[in-house]
């Protein structure tokens, strides 16, 4: 398995990312109203893949749908999948996207009435070297509003190419600082609801945000996928977070990990 020319594979992936990126919508474009979420946002999805401890090529793909505003799970589906390529930083979508897309298509066929109006993806959106991570990929391919949620910073983005901009209730040097600042001082985002934009020095592109969504000392790293803006991605993440990890992804992670545990015991 995984017998392929890595350099050619990566070049092909970058071309595909850039092609799809031209179709990405960076503004808010969805069927609910931010100022009236209680009545217009009905269903929110979360997707995740969990891996078997003894086989990194096998995983459980999971899709959950939560009702809003109750955040109760109204749909869940798991599927054991075989991954055809190894994990390569920056190219997660080419390993995982088709499995999530299949689950979305299955739901559309089974019960389109609860198809999510918004999907949270366990992985980055524009917080990515090509500004087109797995959340962007899934969003564009399925034409669904998506938000990427990362637990860690993506190493492929050079630290010296990012500055911190517009801190909310957080005092930092005016000249800006690199991402190490967040690693060293995440506790200074000491109030739930605080967030910091991550902006490129060279092109002023806002890659995403570090968001304090719970009392946990760690942040979520939130970035738009498709049809959602940076500010809206932060707002929706905060509204849908009970703990550090946004609730739709947390539920998908719990379900997929439980499936791994049960299957590993069989």
Please, what is the average pLDDT of the chain? 87
Res. 263: pLDDT tops 50 = yes
Q: Nearest 5°: phi and psi at 77? A: -150, 135
In 3-state terms, the chain is what percent helix, strand and coil (to 5)? 35, 25, 40
**Beta-sheet pairing, 55-67 with 162-165:** unpaired
- pTM of the prediction? 0.89
- Whether the pLDDT of residue 41 is over 60: the answer is yes
Q: pLDDT per residue over 149-197, tens digit each?
A: 998 775 544 434 444 444 443 333 344 434 555 555 555 566 788 888 8
For residues 99-125, give the mean pLDDT: 98
Domain annotation for the chain: domains and CATH numbers: 6-151+222-265 (3.30.2170.10)
pLDDT-above-70 percentage for the chain = 84
Question: Looking at residue 194, what is its pLDDT?
Answer: 82
CB proximity list for 105: less than 8 A, separation 6 or greater: none
Which residues, other chains included, contact 261 with Cβ-Cβ below 8 Å and sequence gap of 6+? none
97 and 81 in contact (C-beta within 8 Å)? no
28-43 mean pLDDT: 96
Does residue 139 surpass a pLDDT of 90?
yes
Pairing mode, strands 220-226 and 43-52: unpaired
C-alpha separations of 29 from 35, 100, 119, 143, 147 in Å:
14, 21, 13, 11, 13
C-alpha torsion angle, residues 66, 33, 168, 230 (rounded to 10): 80
Q: What confidence tens digit (pLDDT) does each residue in 186-238 have?
A: 555 667 888 888 877 777 788 888 888 887 777 889 999 999 999 999 999 99
């Amino acid at each position: 398995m995984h017998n392929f020319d890595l350099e050619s594979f990566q070049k092909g992936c970058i071309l595909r990312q850039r092609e799809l990126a031209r179709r990405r919508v960076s503004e808010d474009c969805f069927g609910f109203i931010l100022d009236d979420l209680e009545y217009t946002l009905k269903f929110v999805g979360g997707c995740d893949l969990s891996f078997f401890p003894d086989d990194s090529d096998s995983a459980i793909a999971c899709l959950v749908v939560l009702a809003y505003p109750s955040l109760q799970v109204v749909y869940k589906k798991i599927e054991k999948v075989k991954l055809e390529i190894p994990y390569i930083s920056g190219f997660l979508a080419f390993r995982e996207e088709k499995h999530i897309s299949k689950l979305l298509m299955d739901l559309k066929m089974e019960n389109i009435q609860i198809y999510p109006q918004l999907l949270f993806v366990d992985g980055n959106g524009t917080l990515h070297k090509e500004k087109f991570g797995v959340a962007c990929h899934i969003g564009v391919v399925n034409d669904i509003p998506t938000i990427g949620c990362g637990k860690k910073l993506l190493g492929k983005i050079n630290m010296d190419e990012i500055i911190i901009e517009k801190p909310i209730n957080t005092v930092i040097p005016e000249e800006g600082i690199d991402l190490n600042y967040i690693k060293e001082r995440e506790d200074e985002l000491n109030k739930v609801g605080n967030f910091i934009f991550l902006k490129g020095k060279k092109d002023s592109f806002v890659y995403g945000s570090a968001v304090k969504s719970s009392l946990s000392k760690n942040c979520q790293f939130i970035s738009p996928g498709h049809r959602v803006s940076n500010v809206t991605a932060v707002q929706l993440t905060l509204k849908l977070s009970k703990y550090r990890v946004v609730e739709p992804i947390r539920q998908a992670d719990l379900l997929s990990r439980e499936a791994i545990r049960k299957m590993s015991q069989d």
